[in-house]
Chain A
Amino acid sequence: MLNFKKSVLMLLAIMVGCIALYAAPAMAHGEKSQAAYLRMRTLLWYDVEVSTTKLKVNEELVMTGKFYWFYDWPSNIAKPEVAFLNIGIPGPVFIRKASYINGVSGTNSTRFDIGETYEFKVILKARRAARVHMHALMNVKEAGPLIGPGRWVEVTGDMADFTNEVTTLTGETIDLEHYGLVNAVKWHIFWGVIAAAWLLYWIFQGPILIPRYKKVKLLGDEADDMITPANRMVGLVMLIGTIVVVTWSYFNAYAQYPVTIPLQSGQITIPALPDAARGVNVEMIDARYRVPGRALEFTIKVTNNTNSPIKLGEFTSANIRWMNPEVSQAEPADSHDPVASNGMSYEGGAVMPGQTKLLKATCTDAAWETYRLAKLIYDPDSRFGGLIFFFDEEGNRSVVAIGGPLLPVFI
């Protein structure tokens, strides 16, 4: 017996420990917890911006950006046949006023194509005071959440001032914060009182347990006689009363709300954006990860079919950006925005129109370790992926996805 108790306690302790362990990465919103190859080869986000990072209750914030569904989608992850553009926040700090994917309303779930790019826009209205790390997020059915870049956003003000008014198609203006609540609570109280009365009717005939138990055993087959005609009459009144009230409430609700529709579901398909590569072709020749230097080195064969010379300005993957400051500059937006402003350099110079050329790029930063991307070489599938950005002299950008096997270099 003592051993049994001990083992139960041990089991409990182990369970608590496991929960604590698993809760730790969850606190980081999954930014680093998913396997590196998944973060690098599923949904690649870029150009993500928020219109403001400090706002008051009832003010609006717009989040915009683009996402690309990586061409070499991991075979063990469900494809985005059904997906929903979401926002990663702890509870409704904001309400989502509107969301658009390539200009189409994102209220419904959507089907996306692998290898294609889409742009999004989410309009949020601040609801309660909080400082939150807000993420763009894509939920993919059977795959889970694919998390985008995060921004620290601070909302000030009083939640009591928040309103969310809409006008229905029947011409009524309602505040969704409180709409229908009083009515629902009123019904719960009404039925709650009847239920309490029914229970108390029996309990106050008490003591009910021991005497009735004894009587049931004593009477045997005649135990049903313990129910008096008065008891049964109460039951009959309750049955008829309940049916009458339910019937009345049902038809009354129909009279009050003659126009109603069922819950709306359904799915849409949104056409992708035109190819963001704009005529730049890239072939992966070789890619290595140098463990001591925390550096990704890759060689690519670039063919420039545009009519302007292009240079390599950025590599991005898993929401981390390695910038080549000679071509394109960017600074971290806040303390948790992984931008390596100086992280990328390359050999080979500009690629002229019509030219095919080898470029050798190096992407260095501590983020390889801090964002646990270096673990890629220990993943069951150690292929990597990402987007590279070329810029021409007018600042036009070509975005090309690259990927392939990644070989580690340990010395």
Chain B
Amino acid sequence: MSAVHSVSAITTAEQQHRIYKAFDWIIIPIVVLVVIGAFHIHAMLTIGDWDFWIDWKDRRWWVTVTPISLIFFPAALHYLLWENFRLPFGATLACGGLLIGEWANRIANFVGWAYFPLNMVVPGEIIPMALCLDAVLIISRSLTITGVLGGMLWGIIFYPANWALIAPFHVPVEYNGVMMSVADLIGYNYVRTGTPEYIRIIEEGTLRTFGEDVTPVSAFFAGFISVLAYFLWLYIGKWFSKTTWMKRI
């Protein structure tokens, strides 16, 4: 009788395959949900209004804050998934999950609850930068190279990837004798009781109104800091993904 206890219930390779597959289907959705929740809270706390409103998406602050703040989860997931599984999709998983959470929030709360027009609250496009970060990882097979090259690319590509979405909102309008962008006008038209105009942290007006040189500087700065942030969060990911508990599997 005692022999029975030491024999595993899994007897065939096929059975084992089925159980491993079941493990995938249980763990992956849980990880995705946790990432959506945690990453979403992180994004709302650190980027918040910059990503909520079309009239906050400026050439200096939004461009800088978003990539730097958002590289945290992709870096941590890169460490976890690469070091333990050699899986290179941490950034896309994190950013895709974040976007699912953001779209749900914008549609349910901003539009469904508060009736803001959806075009005013479309989330920023963050998939292209995630794809680049993952791609550099699988090509280089090195977290260090991914941090340096991928992190830089991540920061630089954010603004160009979003310009196709926000350019229409930067067309000028004359309104009550003042020149505004369409985005400014939307922000003025659609009354936000709790978010007055002056709360916006955006690039200050300059004499070079039609100039374009602010963006590249901001994008390179964002890339540079993203590289540093990537390594910082790699270490935090390392700390979180200690696998001593898995030794027995």
A208–B203 CB distance below 8 A? no
Given A109-B197, A250-B163, A265-B204, are A166 and B175 also a contact pair (CB < 8 Å)? Answer: yes
B1-9, B38-46, B71-79, B116-124: which lies at the interface? B116-124
Is A34 positioned at the interface, with any CB of B under 8 Å from its CB?
no
B197–A108 CB distance below 8 A? yes
B residues 190-227 near A (Cβ < 8 Å) are 190-194, 196-200, 202-205, 209-210, 214
In the assembled complex, the Cα of A166 lies from the Cα of B128 at a distance in Å of 33
B186–A250 CB distance below 8 A? no
In the assembled complex, the Cα of A191 lies from the Cα of B40 at a distance in Å of 19
| B206, closest chain A residue (CB) | A262
Per-position binary interface string of chain B over residues 83-108, scored 1 when its CB falls under 8 Å from any chain A CB and 0 otherwise? 11111110011011001000100000
| B110, closest chain A residue (CB) | A91
Is A395 positioned at the interface, with any CB of B under 8 Å from its CB?
no
In the assembled complex, the Cα of A93 lies from the Cα of B189 at a distance in Å of 11
The residues of B that contact A195 with a CB separation of less than 8 Å are 92, 95-96, 127, 130-131
Q: Tell me which of A84, A86, A88, A235 contacts B139 (CB under 8 A).
A: A235
A169–B128 CB distance below 8 A? no
Is B23 positioned at the interface, with any CB of A under 8 Å from its CB?
yes
The residues of A that contact B163 with a CB separation of less than 8 Å are 249-250, 253-254
B114–A91 CB distance below 8 A? yes
A192–B122 CB distance below 8 A? no
Q: Tell me which of A145, A234, A247, A264 contacts B193 (CB under 8 A).
A: A145
Is B59 positioned at the interface, with any CB of A under 8 Å from its CB?
yes
In the assembled complex, the Cα of A228 lies from the Cα of B176 at a distance in Å of 62
A210-218, A306-314, A377-385: which lies at the interface? A210-218
A239–B132 CB distance below 8 A? yes
Is A82 positioned at the interface, with any CB of B under 8 Å from its CB?
yes
| A159, closest chain B residue (CB) | B115
The residues of A that contact B127 with a CB separation of less than 8 Å are 191-192, 194-195
What's the least CB distance linking A397 to chain B, in Å?
Answer: 30
Q: Tell me which of B21, B182, B209 contacts A207 (CB under 8 A).
A: B21
Is B161 positioned at the interface, with any CB of A under 8 Å from its CB?
yes
A residues 38-88 near B (Cβ < 8 Å) are 82-84, 86-88
What's the least CB distance linking B147 to chain A, in Å?
Answer: 16
Is A181 positioned at the interface, with any CB of B under 8 Å from its CB?
yes
| B205, closest chain A residue (CB) | A266
A216–B172 CB distance below 8 A? no
A96–B87 CB distance below 8 A? no
Per-position binary interface string of chain B over residues 129-141, scored 1 when its CB falls under 8 Å from any chain A CB and 0 otherwise? 0111011111101
Given A179-B168, A212-B87, are A87 and B135 also a contact pair (CB < 8 Å)? Answer: no
The residues of A that contact B20 with a CB separation of less than 8 Å are 206-207, 209-211
A164–B134 CB distance below 8 A? no
In the assembled complex, the Cα of A196 lies from the Cα of B97 at a distance in Å of 10
Q: Tell me which of B24, B92, B166, B191 contacts A87 (CB under 8 A).
A: B191
In the assembled complex, the Cα of A180 lies from the Cα of B141 at a distance in Å of 39
Is A3 positioned at the interface, with any CB of B under 8 Å from its CB?
no
Per-position binary interface string of chain B over residues 172-194, scored 1 when its CB falls under 8 Å from any chain A CB and 0 otherwise? 11111111111111101111111
Q: Tell me which of A170, A209, A249, A252 contacts B24 (CB under 8 A).
A: A209
Is A366 positioned at the interface, with any CB of B under 8 Å from its CB?
no
A183–B23 CB distance below 8 A? no
Is A341 positioned at the interface, with any CB of B under 8 Å from its CB?
no
A residues 90-104 near B (Cβ < 8 Å) are 90-98
B132–A183 CB distance below 8 A? no
A181–B128 CB distance below 8 A? no
Q: Which of B57, B118, B184, B191 has the most CB of A within 10 A?
A: B191
The residues of A that contact B122 with a CB separation of less than 8 Å are 181, 184-185, 188
Q: Tell me which of B123, B128, B165 contacts A242 (CB under 8 A).
A: B128
Q: Tell me which of A227, A242, A267 contacts B131 (CB under 8 A).
A: A242
Per-position binary interface string of chain A over residues 132-153, scored 1 when its CB falls under 8 Å from any chain B CB and 0 otherwise? 0000010101000100000000
The residues of A that contact B193 with a CB separation of less than 8 Å are 86-90, 137, 145
The residues of A that contact B84 with a CB separation of less than 8 Å are 213, 216
What's the least CB distance linking B134 to chain A, in Å?
Answer: 7
- Can you give 29 A-B contacts (C-beta < 8 A)? A89-B191, A91-B191, A92-B189, A92-B192, A107-B176, A139-B198, A166-B182, A167-B173, A176-B117, A176-B189, A180-B169, A191-B131, A192-B96, A199-B89, A199-B92, A202-B87, A203-B28, A206-B24, A211-B20, A224-B141, A231-B88, A235-B138, A250-B163, A253-B167, A260-B172, A260-B181, A262-B181, A264-B179, A264-B184
Footprint of A on B, CB under 8 Å? Answer: 17, 20-21, 23-24, 27-28, 55-59, 83-89, 92-93, 95-96, 99, 103, 113-119, 122-123, 125, 127-128, 130-132, 134-139, 141, 157, 160-161, 163-186, 188-194, 196-200, 202-205, 209-210, 214, 246, 249
Footprint of B on A, CB under 8 Å? Answer: 82-84, 86-98, 105, 107-109, 124, 127-128, 137, 139, 141, 145, 159, 164, 166-170, 172, 174, 176-181, 183-185, 187-188, 191-192, 194-196, 198-199, 202-203, 206-216, 223-224, 226-227, 231-232, 234-236, 238-239, 242-243, 245-247, 249-250, 252-254, 256-257, 259-267
The 6 A-B pairs of least Cβ separation, nearest first, read A207-B20, A139-B196, A235-B138, A239-B135, A191-B127, A260-B170
Beyond A84-B197, A92-B114, A107-B184, 20 extra complex contacts between A and B, CB < 8 Å: A84-B198, A86-B193, A87-B191, A90-B193, A91-B191, A105-B178, A107-B197, A108-B178, A128-B115, A139-B196, A166-B175, A174-B182, A179-B169, A180-B168, A194-B127, A212-B85, A239-B136, A260-B172, A262-B170, A263-B58
